[in-house]
Amino acid sequence: MLKRTAVSRREFLKGAAALALAGPYVVTSAALGAGDRPAASNRITMAHIGIGNQGSGHFGGMLGNAEAQILAVGDVRQWVRDKCQKAVEDRYGQAKASGEYKGCAAYNDFREIAARTDIDATVVAVPDHWHALVAIELLKSGKDVYCEKPLALTIKQARAMVTATRRYGRVFQTGSQQRSSAEFRKACELVRNGRIGKVLTVNVNVGGPSTERYYPEEPIPEGFDWEFWLGPAPWAPHNSERCSGNYGGGWRMVRDYSGGMMTDWGAHHFDIAQWGLGMDNTGPVEILPPDGKDVPRLTYKYANGVVMYHGGGGNGVLFTGEKGKVEVNRGYFKSYPDEIGQEPLGPSDIRLYASNNHMADFFQCMKTRQRPICDVEIGCRSVSVCHLGNIAVWINRPLKWDPVKEEIIGDPEASRWLDRPMRAPWHLG
Amino acid sequence: MKLSTLLCTAAAVLLVGAGLARAAEADAGALLKELKGEAEPVKRSAAELEAAYAQALASLLPDMASDDLKKRSDSQGDWSKICLRAGRPGAEDDRAAACKAMLPKLGADTPPLTRVWLIRQLQLIGKGESVAALVALLDDKDALVRESARRAVQANPAPEAGQALLAALPKADSPAWRVAIINACAARKNAAAVAAIAKYLADNDESVALAAAAGLGKIGGAEAAAALAAAKAKATGKLLPVVLDAWLLCADQFVADGKKDAALPIYDALYAANNPDRFRIAALRGIVLVKGEDAVPILTEILTGSNARLRGIALSFMREVPGTGAAKAMAALLPKLAPAAQVDILNELGSRGDPATKSAVLAAAKSDDAGVRVAALKALGGVGDAADIGTLAQATAAEGPERDAARFALDHLRGQAVDQAMISALASADAKVRPELLRSLASRRVAAAVAPLAKYVEDADAATRIEAIKGLETLGDEKVAGLIIRAIANAKQDDERQAAEKTLGAICARAADKDAAADTVIKAAGSATGQAKASLLRALGKVGGAKALAAIKANLKDADAAAQEAAFRTLADWPDGAAAADLLELAKTETKAANQVLALRGYVRLITVGNRPVAEKVKMCQEALAAAKRPDEKRLVLGPLADLNTLEALKTAAPLMDEAGVKEEAASAAVKISKKLGGRLPAEVKDAMEKALTITRNDRVKKDAQDVLKKVAPAKK
């Protein structure tokens, strides 16, 4: 194996950052110091929008983040935002001689958070059908954004988020945090460096698409702004299961709000497949739904001949090459043969962007103005893979995809699924 | 007519009616299957298709608004499948027929739930034939129907859909509805709507004015840009930022359309004006996109200015400017910047690799700031050439990040001239530099470096020898095997011998003729002793094959303790199943506890190596359990056993639930196996799960066991 491997621009920059001794010099707010907890005026000022299952994890972590100061919380459930506001004020109050702190505002409408000029960045963890609207409003208002995966409800919404990020010069981290886990990085580095030889297939083990769901109407709990929760989605009567944040159920399985497990877990595992294949700026060219005959499972074909299957074996993501296999999931790594995973990378091998903490990487990039490990473009491309699979399954026919123009070829009715008209007054900014 | 006759007649009529109903039901069922693509299609004319789709819809329509959610879901789902299939390429008659079937059902006679569902299907497949019916619904009394129809018209590709929306705009009966119509026109990028929408920029209702501004930005074009430019002078409050954003969108669209001249004045105005930073930033990026290298002076001004927020953004934009001019400008900036900023610029210069910036990078490599020196050394890997080999090799004498950066640069200097220059430099290099050059030659995978590396394997200097040996691990072939075997025999220190052992293993593993490679190493091992022999035996493990295996087995009783241990460990780590029988035998008979455990571990590891049939894996587990002497060892076997999915596997694991020291693990394995059986063999699984539940204290295992029990023995209703 005498082939030398090139270092991409992004990898060079990240590698350089890893070697650098000097701290950041670019700041989003007045100053972002290093060392111990900075003075309040020097912390990164944060807001959290959507503080349910996933959002509460981010919120709890941020409360303990010495570099950050939470100035605002937003949620359409009054009891949630009140509780979070109190949590912030209690936590920060402990550091005050008076024991009191009144500096965290609570909002029902995210646009009021966007309008504030004293907030540097926002964590967005609302349901998927809201991601694009909330994030774009924040980007337009000059805020950096950490947005939960899957990036958006549609491919066009995801592309609009990329455009807005670039247009307004913002830093955008997609919450596909497996990119900040060593086992996934190792697997992808091995694949990218040809340790399994030419890649033949990838198996990605995630659940299936969302569907239309039918629920009986239930009373709207007091303090819950149901109309705002629905937002751009078609109107539907309230039902607690319809809007539950329950992983594996709830709104994640309703087509009007999410792409199901295909996008929810796909934004993790398909994302890793794209990373390992070096497809972060592109995607498959053909998508075939299962047909019960020649195509037993949802199948993607890339222009270079790699075939990717939805399911079909392996734990998490299974890369199969001419010389071996690499299998990776959370806390799990295995190579076949074992030696593939044991031999360390050489100095000239491709080293992927290394992050061991997704939120810390976001903070670092806010300071350096570099693109983070799961930049919005990556989030867009990964969720596009998921959505294309969903579309092919929903309409039950093969698709041809142009990953440069981001267009479905020769099927105008399938193309209508690339976006969804929003319920007025909402529109994609 | 007698009563009995009447009754008979009535019964006959009822029977015939029921029969006809069943027949009609069967026909409808067959038709639905066909239209969903689940049965062979029947060839039909366009008119017959329309009748077929109408018939199919008629059969589904009654349940589409049913209170029975299952019925509603089934009927709506079936119709959705039919519509989506009708929309396939090359089936225009089907698509049109499906739409035409829905159009007469959109009226108020149909329940609202059904109307909304049908409109949603038209949103996905409707074209010109659907426009008139959908537009009629824009005035519907039911707000949900009206809004659904608006979205369907918005998504309809027919030009008349755009015209209809434009016509609906002045007739909107409320600000909210006007906003909705403006949004729809804007989403369609309907240029014909610009003048009409522009009128609403000054609307008294703020929501309408905001929608008009945003809509014009989405549509873009000269007319929209002019309207927004005029509005910007008068706009205040919430409207002003929306107008500016929209104007910016127009400029971006001009750039996308290749009309840079039209875009630049907008960007300039937004950047130069006393606007909030967010607009200035977006405008600045536009300027960079339009001007390319000509934008560098503006960026330079910002980078050396006092606006910290803009400085960071400017640097990120600078990265987007291609060309030598930008690279040179960045290089020229270096002395004017704070150290941290220099680091960022140097990283960028390194990734660009423009030789024109080399002198600036070299100057930075002498900075007083350690971070700047590190970044400069690394950047030299991108911008440097063969002339910089010496500088970088000398720099590796430093410690920590500077040494790492210098090594990175040496490994990444570009061009074949670099490889040759590095080889040439070996002869005159001193004892500090030469190992670095050897290391880098290997790292660079320079095929021509094999001979020079071989030359230094027996050098007087230890560091040089070790790097040469390590280098051959990557580049060497069996031709240098003898040299490496000598290096093992003559090694003066452990790290040297270990490096040589690794290299020999790698060379042999790559050898085309494995038997010949094995012969060479076996012969050398025959005359070696102590650690050298141990190294050679371990290297044999990397060769694999029958000859190597036989040699390892022959050394299991070697009088030399180091050699014996190496033979044992090598056998335990054997890469394929060929060693399984020997390992099992040793696991049963070996008297030294450490060796017995090694052998058993090796045997258990081999259970999952290769593609053995499940039955064979189970048998191996049983053999391993029989050979296992302690609970620890039995637990080891339960790992691979739990991954199997046969009754025999379950029967092997289940009795261990009675064995002290492994009960919990055995219960867990039994549950895992049973889960994989997926409802098969209910009696055996039920017994095992009930037993597991009495044993396990692990909640997860308990839950899994209960889930399995539900599958194999569902509760009676």
Q: Looking at the 3D structure of chain A, how many domains does it have?
A: 1
B64 occurs within a structural domain? yes
Q: Looking at residue A27, what is its pLDDT?
A: 34
Give B248's contacts in chain A (Cβ within 8 Å): 167
Nearest Cα residue to B280 out of B314, B246, B329? B314
Q: Which residues contact B564 (CB under 8 A, 6 or more apart)?
A: B555, B556, B557, B558
Q: Looking at residue A26, what is its pLDDT?
A: 33
Nearest Cα residue to B677 out of B662, B665, B689, B695? B689
Q: CA of B248: which chain A residue's CA is closest?
A: A167
Distance CA B311, CA A80 (A): 38
B382 and chain A in contact, CB less than 8 A: yes
Dig out the tokens for A373 from the structure: 């490990």
A223 occurs within a structural domain? no
Q: Looking at the 3D structure of chain B, how many domains does it have?
A: 1
What is the least distance, in Å, from the CA of A264 to any CA of chain B?
Answer: 23
Q: Looking at residue A242, what is its pLDDT?
A: 97
Q: Looking at residue A5, what is its pLDDT?
A: 40
Name residues 283-342 of chain B within 8 A of A (Cβ).
284-285, 308-309, 311-313, 315-317, 338-341
A411 occurs within a structural domain? no
Are B285 and A169 in contact (CB < 8 Å)? yes
Give B351's contacts in chain A (Cβ within 8 Å): 9, 12-13, 16
A99 occurs within a structural domain? yes
Q: Cβ of A7: how many Cβ atoms within 10 Å?
A: 21
What is the least distance, in Å, from the CA of B73 to any CA of chain A?
Answer: 7
Tell me the CA end-to-end span of chain B in Å, nearest whole number. Answer: 52
pLDDT above 70 (res B290)? yes
pLDDT above 90 (res B511)? no
Give the mean model confidence (pLDDT) for residues B457-462. Answer: 95
pLDDT above 70 (res B9)? no
Report whether B511 contacts B543 (CB < 8 A): yes
A420 occurs within a structural domain? no
Q: Calculate helix-pair angle for B92-102, B69-86, nearest 10 degrees.
A: 140
pLDDT per residue, tens digit, chain A (429 aa), is 333 344 555 555 555 444 443 333 333 333 333 334 566 667 999 999 999 989 999 999 999 999 999 999 999 999 999 999 999 999 999 888 888 888 899 999 999 999 999 999 999 999 999 999 999 999 999 999 999 999 999 999 999 999 999 999 999 999 999 999 999 999 999 999 999 999 999 999 999 999 999 999 999 999 999 999 999 999 999 999 999 998 878 999 999 999 999 999 999 999 999 999 999 999 999 999 999 899 999 999 999 999 999 999 889 999 999 999 999 999 999 999 988 998 777 656 788 999 999 999 999 999 888 899 999 999 999 999 999 999 999 999 999 999 999 999 999 999 999 999 999 999 998
A56 occurs within a structural domain? yes
Report whether A89 contacts A104 (CB < 8 A): yes
**B642-to-A219, B446, B537, B676 alpha-carbon distances in Å:** 48, 48, 34, 9
Are B315 and A142 in contact (CB < 8 Å)? no
A222 occurs within a structural domain? no
Q: Cβ of B439: how many Cβ atoms within 10 Å?
A: 22
Provide the CATH number for the domain around residue A145.
Answer: 3.40.50.720
Q: What is the pLDDT of residues B291-337, one digit of tens each?
A: 998 998 899 888 888 777 788 888 888 888 888 988 998 999 999 88
Nearest Cα residue to B245 out of B274, B282, B272, B277? B282
B620 occurs within a structural domain? no
Q: Worst-scoring range by mean pLDDT, A258-267, A296-305, B201-210, B675-684?
A: B675-684
Report whether B201 contacts B213 (CB < 8 A): yes
Q: Which of B187, B311, B339 sits opposite A26 (nearest CB)?
A: B311
Q: Looking at residue B276, what is its pLDDT?
A: 87
Q: Looking at residue B128, what is its pLDDT?
A: 98
Query: What CA dihedral angle connects B564, B565, B569 and B571, to 10 degrees?
Result: 10
> Domain residues for A170?
22-177
What is the least distance, in Å, from the CA of A132 to any CA of chain B?
Answer: 15
A67 occurs within a structural domain? yes
pLDDT above 80 (res B380)? yes
Q: What is the pLDDT of residues B565-620, one digit of tens each?
A: 999 999 999 988 999 999 999 999 988 888 899 999 999 999 988 778 999 999 99
What is the least distance, in Å, from the CA of B628 to any CA of chain A?
Answer: 25
Are B278 and A168 in contact (CB < 8 Å)? yes
Quick check: ipTM above 0.90? yes
Q: Calculate helix-pair angle for B593-607, B561-572, nearest 10 degrees.
A: 20
Q: How much of chain B exceeds pLDDT 90, in percent?
A: 76
Nearest Cα residue to A171 out of A96, A109, A222, A121? A121
Give A1's contacts in chain B (Cβ within 8 Å): 445
Q: ∠ CA(B620), CA(B622), CA(B623), 5° rounding?
A: 65
Are B313 and A169 in contact (CB < 8 Å)? yes
Q: How much of chain B exceeds pLDDT 70, in percent?
A: 96
Q: CA of B440: which chain A residue's CA is closest?
A: A347
Q: ∠ CA(A109), CA(A115), CA(A118), 5° rounding?
A: 120
Q: Calculate helix-pair angle for A9-19, B370-383, nearest 10 degrees.
A: 150
Give A114's contacts in chain B (Cβ within 8 Å): none
pLDDT above 80 (res B415)? no
Distance CA A376, CA A151 (A): 8
Q: Calculate helix-pair angle for B112-125, B128-136, nearest 10 degrees.
A: 150
> Domain residues for B49?
31-168
Distance CA A383, CA A393 (A): 15
Write down the number of H helices and E strands in chain B: 41, 0
Report whether A215 contacts A242 (CB < 8 A): yes
Distance CA B1, CA B190 (A): 75
B350 and chain A in contact, CB less than 8 A: yes
Place of tokens 């705002």: A228
Nearest Cα residue to B348 out of B370, B317, B369? B317
Q: What is the pLDDT of residues B82-128, one digit of tens each?
A: 999 999 999 999 999 999 999 999 999 999 999 999 999 999 999 99
Give the mean model confidence (pLDDT) for residues B199-207. Answer: 97
Q: Which helix (H) or strand (E) covers residue B114, if one does?
A: helix B112-125
pLDDT above 70 (res B25)? no
Q: Cβ of B482: how many Cβ atoms within 10 Å?
A: 11
Report whether B212 contacts B182 (CB < 8 A): yes
Q: Looking at residue B11, what is its pLDDT?
A: 55
Q: Looking at residue A4, what is its pLDDT?
A: 39
Q: Looking at residue A42, what is its pLDDT?
A: 77
Q: CA of A410: which chain B residue's CA is closest?
A: B89
B367 occurs within a structural domain? no
Distance CA A197, CA A188 (A): 13
What is the least distance, in Å, from the CA of A427 to any CA of chain B?
Answer: 7
Are A337 and B89 in contact (CB < 8 Å)? no
Amino acid symbol at B689 = M
Q: CA of A13: which chain B residue's CA is closest?
A: B347
Q: What is the pLDDT of residues B125-162, one digit of tens each?
A: 999 999 999 999 999 999 999 999 999 999 999 999 99
* CB pairs A-B closer than 8 Å: 192
Give B176's contacts in chain A (Cβ within 8 Å): 424-425
pLDDT above 80 (res B534)? yes
Give A367's contacts in chain B (Cβ within 8 Å): 312
Q: Which helix (H) or strand (E) covers residue B94, if one does?
A: helix B92-102
Q: CA of B238: which chain A residue's CA is closest?
A: A115
Distance CA B411, CA A348 (A): 6
